[in-house]
């Protein structure tokens, strides 16, 4: 088996638009052959001319893709780590990840995997830690296992995805799940991420003796950090709406500057029981050096099978399934959409080096778990670089090199308060909600399972629960409506697995667990 897959590779240059055609030369008029400019090594290797691009466009596109994705180097450490055990998501054993170390491995893994993707798949897609999975790990998984065990599950997830890609099973499984349910899962994850952002910023807070949650404090916004969140949310939303390249990154930087000014003027400090109006995570104060050597101490810091011993084979298997499913469909949909945007997709929706792309993307999950930076996957933000003219893997190589350089700027992550990161989460969640257009809500056999999938994720604070409810309800309602023959056998297999997962408490009790 070889990762290099040249199937469906283009063999002819695209036609040139007549509106841009140069004046006919004497050689053209007489029918004499035109002198061909010698192709460079980069041109031949990446098929730049064949895809109608140029070196300048590829470099520019790679740069733009990096700036539209660079927020993950700041955001991922805030989601997964902290600067002490008091402000970091702690696991079941009280362990935590250093934000500085997470920032370093985020840049390292994104850089290496994006470069490999460009060299092997020859597509202008950037890879980095996926926001859906890192939030799932920080909010749900680590309450059952330790961080090394959680990252071991991510590695197993990646190995399975690689195997699916190598054997061709990925396409078969993808086709078994109805497109409406795939879209509902993406929408539900988007809503889940947005809800996390609202809670982390203090915009939505839990209550006692009343509704489960409320707006701010007593139904109104009373703290300046939450107001900074609102300003950041609107600013990032405006930048994205106006299609400003790097809008999220610009919004994060700009709102962080605003937060630093507010802190310098008012000395709000960190939030606590006696200081509820303070910052919820990082206090935006710049101190120390901005550039430092990356601390790669998290590389290899994972426990492959420890979670199976801690929580049991069934529970650990269902967590792996959730990771695989989330990785699987998010990447498939993203790559298909980006290939269409780049003009390299074929009529049947496939694109050059399809199998190679799936395999490398799977290795991104393996690498993300092995470095404790969370599963790496293709980013829809790559569309910005494609919009700048990127058509080949050279753009990805440029993006990857810039990600490697970002490892030396990890001290900057300590300046960004959680309220600013939360605003970016809400904006990303809104982007993911766009998939709702794929759901036919006029058909109730589709509408109810899709709706249950979407709302269960944020309301139960669990992606796994949402996927499970969606699968089970789709199979049961479809069969009861006389459409059992249209339900793929794999849907029944997965639904039965989820029923066992939902009943694992009573089952463990009956088995004496």
For each of the chain's 513 residues, which pLDDT tens digit applies? 445 555 455 544 443 333 333 444 444 444 444 444 557 888 999 999 999 899 988 998 898 889 888 889 888 998 999 877 877 899 999 999 998 899 999 999 999 999 999 999 999 999 999 988 998 899 889 989 999 999 999 999 999 999 998 998 877 776 778 888 888 888 888 898 888 889 888 888 877 777 787 887 767 777 888 899 999 999 989 998 998 877 888 888 899 899 999 988 888 877 777 888 888 767 888 766 778 889 999 999 999 999 999 998 888 988 898 888 788 877 877 887 788 878 887 766 678 888 899 999 999 999 999 999 999 999 988 888 888 889 999 999 999 999 999 898 766 666 888 888 888 888 888 888 888 888 889 999 999 999 999 999 888 887 778 888 999 999 999 999 988 888 888 888 888 878 887 886 686 667 655
Does pTM top 0.85 for this prediction?
no
Pairing of β 376-378 and β 204-206: unpaired
Burial per residue of 244-281, b for 16 or more beta-carbon CB atoms within 10 angstroms, e otherwise: bbbbbbbbbbbbbebbbebbeeeebeebeeeeebbbbb
pLDDT for 108 equals 97
* 452 & 391 share domain: no
Q: Which residue has the tokens 């669990």?
A: 462
The continuous run of DSSP H or E covering 128 comes out as: strand 127-129
Comparing CA positions, the residue from 326, 364, 394, 300 lying closest to residue 42 is 394
Which of 409, 439, 469 delimits the end of a domain? 439
392 lies in some domain = yes
E strand spans, 43-126: none
Contact of 183 with 435, CB cutoff 8 Å: yes
In the chain, DSSP finds a helix count (H) and a strand count (E) of 21, 4
d(CA 52, CA 58): 11
110 lies in some domain = yes
* 252 & 371 share domain: yes
428 lies in some domain = yes
265 lies in some domain = yes
Q: Is 23 left (phi over 0), alpha (psi -120 to 50) or beta?
A: beta
d(CA 183, CA 187): 6
* 430 & 464 share domain: no
Contact of 114 with 401, CB cutoff 8 Å: no
Which of 424, 439, 454 delimits the end of a domain? 439
Q: Is 372 left (phi over 0), alpha (psi -120 to 50) or beta?
A: left
* 424 & 464 share domain: no
How many structural domains comprise the chain?
2
* 349 & 273 share domain: yes
Pairing of β 376-378 and β 213-215: unpaired
Which of 385, 409, 439 delimits the end of a domain? 439
Domain range enclosing 385:
45-439
Pairing of β 213-215 and β 204-206: antiparallel
9 lies in some domain = no
* 320 & 226 share domain: yes
C-alpha distance from residue 305 to each of 155, 157, 193, 302, 327 (Å): 10, 12, 28, 9, 20
pLDDT for 20 equals 37
* 383 & 308 share domain: yes
418 lies in some domain = yes
pLDDT for 179 equals 81
Look at residue 70 and give its three-state secondary structure: coil
Q: Which two tokens stand for residue 426?
A: 């809400």
| 406 Cβ neighbours under 8 A, 6+ residues apart | 70, 73, 107, 111
Look at residue 84 and give its three-state secondary structure: coil
Q: Which two tokens stand for residue 222?
A: 């009373």
| 266 Cβ neighbours under 8 A, 6+ residues apart | 224
Look at residue 99 and give its three-state secondary structure: helix
257 lies in some domain = yes
d(CA 65, CA 359): 22
136 lies in some domain = yes
* 401 & 451 share domain: no
pLDDT for 302 equals 96
* 445 & 415 share domain: no
* 391 & 495 share domain: no
What sign does the CA torsion over 448, 330, 106, 146 have?
Answer: positive
* 202 & 143 share domain: yes
* 392 & 454 share domain: no
């Amino acid at each position: 088996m070889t990762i290099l897959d040249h199937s469906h590779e283009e063999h002819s240059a695209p036609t040139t638009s007549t509106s841009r055609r140069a004046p006919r030369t004497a050689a053209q008029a007489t029918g004499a052959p035109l002198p061909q400019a010698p192709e460079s090594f980069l041109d031949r290797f990446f098929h730049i001319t064949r895809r109608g691009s140029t070196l300048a466009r590829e470099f520019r596109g790679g740069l733009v893709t990096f700036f539209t994705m660079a927020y993950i180097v700041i955001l991922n450490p805030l989601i997964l780590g902290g600067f002490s055990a008091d402000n970091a998501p702690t696991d079941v054993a009280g362990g935590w990840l250093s934000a500085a170390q997470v920032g370093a491995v985020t840049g390292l893994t994104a850089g290496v995997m994006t470069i490999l993707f460009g060299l092997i798949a020859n597509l202008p897609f950037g890879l980095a830690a996926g926001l859906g999975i890192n939030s799932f790990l920080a909010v749900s998984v680590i309450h059952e296992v330790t961080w090394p065990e959680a990252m071991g599950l991510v590695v197993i997830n990646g190995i399975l995805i690689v195997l699916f890609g190598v054997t061709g099973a990925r396409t078969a499984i993808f086709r078994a799940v109805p497109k409406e349910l795939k879209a509902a899962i993406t929408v539900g994850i988007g809503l889940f991420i947005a809800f996390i952002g609202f809670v982390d910023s203090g915009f939505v807070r839990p209550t006692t003796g009343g509704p489960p949650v409320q707006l701010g404090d007593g139904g109104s916004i009373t703290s300046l950090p939450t107001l900074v969140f609102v300003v950041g949310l609107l600013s990032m939303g405006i930048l994205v709406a106006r299609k400003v390249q790097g809008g999220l990154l610009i919004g994060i930087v700009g709102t962080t500057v605003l937060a630093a000014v507010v802190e310098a003027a008012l000395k709000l400090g960190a939030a606590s029981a006696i200081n509820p109006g303070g910052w919820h995570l990082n206090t935006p104060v710049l101190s120390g050096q901005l550039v430092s050597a990356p601390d790669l101490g998290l590389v290899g810091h994972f426990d492959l099978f420890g979670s199976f011993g801690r929580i049991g084979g069934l529970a650990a298997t269902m967590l792996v399934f959730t990771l695989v499913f989330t990785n699987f469909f998010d990447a498939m949909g993203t790559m298909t959409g980006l290939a269409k945007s780049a003009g390299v997709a074929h009529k049947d929706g496939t694109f050059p080096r399809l199998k190679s792309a799936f395999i490398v993307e799977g290795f991104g999950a393996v690498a993300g778990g092995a470095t404790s930076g969370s599963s790496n996957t293709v980013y829809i933000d790559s569309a910005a670089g494609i919009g700048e003219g990127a058509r080949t893997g050279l753009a990805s190589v440029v993006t990857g090199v810039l990600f490697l350089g970002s490892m030396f700027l990890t001290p900057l992550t300590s300046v960004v308060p959680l309220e600013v990161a939360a605003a970016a989460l809400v904006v990303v969640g809104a982007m993911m909600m766009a998939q709702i257009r794929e759901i036919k809500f006029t058909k109730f056999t589709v509408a109810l399972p899709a709706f249950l999938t979407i709302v269960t994720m944020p309301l139960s604070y669990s992606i796994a629960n949402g996927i499970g409810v969606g699968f089970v309800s789709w199979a049961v309602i479809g069969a009861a409506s006389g459409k059992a023959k249209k339900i793929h056998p794999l849907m029944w297999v997965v639904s039965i697995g989820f029923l066992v997962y939902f009943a694992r408490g009573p089952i463990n009790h009956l088995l004496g667990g």
